Amino acid sequence: MPMPLLRSLRSRLITLTVIVEVVMISAIVWNSQRVAEEHMVRQFELRRAEISLLLQAALAPAMAQRDYAAVSETLQSAQKLQGIDYLVMFDEAGQRIASAQSFADGALPEALDFRVAIVIEQRKYGELQVGIDRRFLLEARREIFSQNLMLAIAGILASSLALGAIALWLTKRLGRLAEASHDLAVGKAFRALPGSGNDDIGQVIAAFNAMAMALERRLDDLRSAEAQQRALAQTIDAERSRLDALLATMQLGLVFVDQDEHISYLNPAFASLWPVTLDIQPSAISLPELRQRLAVSLVEASRDELFDDHGTLVELNLQEGRIVTQHSIPVTSRGGAELGRLWIFEDVTGEHQIAERLIYMAERDSLTGLANRARFSAELDRLLARYQRDPGLRAALLYFDLDEFKTVNDNFGHRAGDNVLVCTANAVGNLIRSGESFARLGGDEFAIIAPGVDLSGAQAMAERVLKALTGLSFEFDGKRVSLTVSIGIALLPDHADNAEELVSRADAAMYQAKRGGKNCWRIYRPDLDDSGHMLSQLGWNEKIQAALEQDRLVLHFQGVHAIGTRAISHYEALVRMVDPDNPGELLLPGSFIPAAERTGRIVDIDRWVLGAAIRKLAASPELPGLAVNISARSFDDPALAGVISGLLAASGVAPRRLIIELTETAALANIRDSGRFISDIQKLGCTVCLDDFGVGFSSFAYLKQLSADVLKIDGMFIRNLCNDHQDQVFVRAIVEVARGMGKKTVAEFVGDAATLALLGELGVDYAQGYYLSLPIGEIQAP
């Protein structure tokens, strides 16, 4: 493998150039040195010849005359010539006769020696040995070598630099070309190379740029096409996945039947609708075979309807009691050709049960199962309609409530009160005969409609009721409690011949019984009606007026919690009255609100509560919001929205922090005024909550007209939620309707953890009740 430094063309070219330069200059230096040495040798030979001739001419006469002194003198003079180290004269016999030297005796000079024969007329008289100093030859050689070496080095460096620069210039563009080719190969963005020209490399770069740009465009096209294909594939996969998930999770059962009456597709929901096992694959069974398998689970009357195309919705009744609807639609291609039919099945058993439950709830009291006020009114109207047809008809209306029932509620709680009401309903219900109606009108108020009963019959019935209820006793917290009942009787047509007056007379007779000592019954007496009623109203009217003037109304606050986190979403403002007879005690709303509603002072209380709540919001910016209850009489006032707007503006409170609560029954009493008031409040930016939702007849039907933001589910659906499946169905229906219309839901009277958990499973957004928090007189800063 080549060394790393010699992998590139540039390195190889420069290295090869340097090697060639070194070899060539080395050869030149060697040859120059050789020529110089040859020249020096020739010069030495010429010098030797000259010295030989000169010394022979000088020494020959002296040797011929054997004048050795002259010879020695001549040698001494000749030795002084430049470059001669020594001279030695030998006679004919080879004997040394004279010498001259430039060095001390015993030293070894570096000299080149040669002998010169001393000849005269061809007679040899002796030989002269001459020693030539060779140091100058060596110094000349070294000097010539040094000069040649310096010239060689300078030449090598200069030529290497020049050739390297040329190689660098040549290979630099080739390197760029190689780097660009590599970048293009690994997918990097292409940038055109500079340096294109008329030379060969420039033409190669120009051709490469053109090729690379064309390749880049094709790669861009390929990438774009690949991205489009990938996006299209992802879209198709996502659509297929969504469609598969949708069909697999749909509550509707789907069956596609092709033109040959083979099953092309059926989803899991369809298989789950039937009690038989459908472990079949599409196209593995025909429509007649599928009909035969499923028919055994239907009642006889529905078997012929299965997969029978009537063009309308058909209900199929299963033997186990469930109801399934079926209908079909044709499936056609874009060209209009029919591909088959899609059969759609849905289990509507729950909807039927909810509808039946709604009808039942619209006419029945959820706690006791008795007829409610709506059913009572309908039965009373039906009785009066019979009276219009038969003026000889006689009937009695008994009104009664439980004496001191409020004391039980206040001291032992709502559960104890509910237990008393249920026992009362059961005890009296056992006395009701066919044709008679027994209803709970609200709270602890009950009524009995007894057609065909005269005065004596009504009195006997009142005695039976009194006896049945007087015998009841209860034990709460270790204390035994016995209740009494006050019963009022009004006769048709003796006391009234229309529903409103008949009810009013029976109610007045009940209060006459209370004033008569309670635990008794009274026949309506007109002479006792007005005086007692006005006296009662006047007393409460004065107390309410004094409370407003003397600032004896106070607000308590109960948290409304988000079910998911239990964090407080907002508070509900609850009004209390300082007891004028016992200032250390507070009167609950049940003590004075009914009287305030009857006397009209409820409007003043509403205004006071609104002002106090808004002042509280202004004083406590950390408060998320306050809910305020508004009575029906107040929202009948068209100026109330303006009053609220003025209070908010004066206090600098954001309208979204104020929540206005209206009871459903009050709102339904006057749909037009209620709708106008809700619209006005929402325009201010406040939230509107429909309180006690679900107690009114056809509550869902009025939601379009009462566009409230929040629905507060009535407590009668919450108290026994964990044990009453019908309450769970009804709450789930309210939640689904509210969610579909973009509304939030609140459950009140949440009394334990199990109820709270179940509400979360049913999808209720917020909860309120003693389990989460008690009403408090002052809100602590978060």
Q: In Å, how far are 439, 564, 566, 593, 705 from 782, measured between CA atoms?
A: 47, 19, 14, 32, 38
- CA dist., res. 726 & res. 354, Å (int): 8
Percentages (nearest 5) of helix, strand, coil residues in the chain:
50, 20, 25
Cis peptide bond upstream of 330, omega within 30: no
Which pLDDT does position 627 carry in this prediction? Answer: 95
As a residue count, the chain comes to 782
Which one-letter DSSP state was computed for residue 364?
B
Share of the chain above pLDDT 90, in %: 29
pLDDT in tens, 317-344: 888 888 998 888 888 888 888 888 888 8
Q: Which of 432, 434, 467 is nearest to 446 (CA)?
A: 432
Amino acid at 133: D
Q: Is the pLDDT of residue 696 over 80?
A: no
pLDDT in tens, 506-546: 999 999 998 888 889 999 988 876 545 554 555 777 888 88
pTM for the full model? 0.40
Which pLDDT does position 647 carry in this prediction? Answer: 93
pLDDT in tens, 46-82: 877 877 788 877 888 888 888 888 888 888 887 777 6
In sequence order, what are the residues at sequence separation of 6 or more whose Cβ sits closer than 8 angstroms to the Cβ of residue 300? none
Which pLDDT does position 480 carry in this prediction? Answer: 82
pLDDT in tens, 187-245: 666 667 676 566 666 777 777 777 777 777 787 788 788 888 888 888 888 887 777 67
Distance from CA of residue 247 to its chain's centroid? 25
Per the structure block, which two tokens stand in for 185? 């190969």
- CA dist., res. 744 & res. 727, Å (int): 19
* Count of Cβ atoms closer than 10 Å to residue 198 Cβ: 7
Instruction: Place 30 in a pLDDT band, splitting at 50, 70 and 90.
Output: confident
Residues 110-116 have a mean pLDDT of: 75
Which pLDDT does position 362 carry in this prediction? Answer: 76
| Beta-bridge mates of residue 113 | 131
The 3-class SS string of 538-589 reads HHHHHHHHHHHHCCCEEEEEEEEEECCCCCEEEEEEEEEEECCCCCCCEECH
Q: In Å, how far are 359, 557, 575, 614, 616 from 780, measured between CA atoms?
A: 45, 11, 18, 17, 12
